[in-house]
Structure 1
């Protein structure tokens, strides 16, 4: 699921205009989780790794 969310976030950055927002509106509420990283300021893969 993490990879799907990452791909959706990447598409949001590359698709012009409100393309991904329009797609999101067409899905039922059960799919909201797929768009979790779209509006987040810091993506999980951009976070610095914590050393042990």
Structure 2
């Protein structure tokens, strides 16, 4: 495969948000999102933790 290199802002939206209250969460998130623990230098962990 020949993957194109793109800037994140070209293919996704980025925004700051609030921390989610684990006590109020029911089931899986309705909209996929990345948390701080999912993004590290050179590595993205895209599994749901």
Q: Select the structure of larger CA radius of gyration.
A: 2
Common fold, TM-score beyond 0.5? no
Where relative contact order (Cα < 8 A, 6+ residues apart) is larger, the structure is 1
* More strand by percentage: 2
